[in-house]
Structure 1
């Protein structure tokens, strides 16, 4: 099926289906890009490292919320990433019962290696849009997200 035909096949899909398809393709492309760059991580693991790199240390529950994982799934991901030396669990400064999750130096280096992968995937995803269309898309998606999160 040519790209023109594949886009026509989605003309009658709901916006929800299209958003789901876009997300699936972004995940697939990102995982392929990571593998091609020698980074053996899944998309969810990439997101965890990205959140820690950009937002700094946080609790496991904060991290789980930020990447939309339940507690059990987050624990499994943290165990795997900690086993690979990419992050560590540190005691919280104020609450000795709590732990903070932080990147290790290897985790920081891995994040720096992944950043160009992320940039390439996002650039490829938007290649058919000019600068104005990219800003419009961002605006539309932010407004949809705000509307969905608005409880009033």
Structure 2
């Protein structure tokens, strides 16, 4: 197997393991992965227009509307009219939603520490640089 094939297989394996971990963590909260993904984006970026949030998530505004409806019904998010654009709605986390985000973010931080504890400072820097460049390609 050449290096390109090995890299492909390792990326897929890492994605599958991370996805499995994420499913387990989210299932314990009674949320779907897309719901938690919405919470993560809003927690990291603050209130957003529905259209911007849909673009960040890679979904249609119709799909996002259903996600936000469910989050609102659980008291995790709320919609409000945009101050300067009457056609737009902003979505933001409620206090409860913010606490879900903070708790989930801490789990991510702990996982990152566990996954990288055997790496040297140079290896961590290389992983950081590689991930930044790879994420820009998306």
TM-score past 0.5 threshold: yes
- The runs of 5 or more residues in structure 1 that have no matched partner are 1-8
CA separation of 1:141 and 1:114: change in aligned 2, threshold 3 A: closer
How high is the TM-score relative to the length of structure 2? 0.81
CA distance in 1 between counterparts of 2:32 and 2:113 reads: 20
8 Å CA contact retained: 2:79, 2:90: yes
The separation in 2 between residues aligned to 1:119 and 1:75, in whole angstroms, is: 29
Partner of 2:86: 96
List alignment gaps of at least 5 residues for structure 2: none
Q: TM-score, normalised by structure 1?
A: 0.74
Equivalent residue number for residue 111 of structure 1? 101
Higher relative contact order (CA 8 A, sep 6+): 1
Q: Is the 2:76–2:96 contact (alpha carbons within 8 Å) kept by the matching residues of 1?
A: yes
User: Which whole-Å CA distance do the structure 2 matches of 1:34 and 1:12 have between them?
Assistant: 32
After TM superposition, which residue ranges in structure 1, 4 or more long, deviate above 6 angstroms?
none
Residues 50 and 88 of structure 2 are in contact (CA less than 8 Å); yes or no, is this contact kept in structure 1?
no
Give the Cα separation in 2 of the matches to 1:126 and 1:42: 27
Q: Is the 8 A contact 1:57 1:101 kept in 2?
A: yes
Aligned counterpart in structure 2 of residue 19 of structure 1, from 11, 17, 30: 11
Per-residue deviation, 1:53: 1.6
Relative to structure 2, which stretch is displaced further, 12-21 or 80-89? Answer: 12-21
Paired positions, count: 137
Q: 1:10-49 maps to which residues of 2 (within 5 A)? A: 13=5, 15-35=7-27, 38-49=28-39
Aligned-residue CA RMSD (Å): 2.5
Distance in 1, Cα, partners of 2:110 & 2:44? 18
How many angstroms does 1:83 deviate by?
A: 1.4
Cα separation, 2, equivalents of 1:52 and 1:137: 25
Instruction: Find 2:121's aligned residue among 119, 122, 131.
Output: 131
SS at match of 2:83: coil
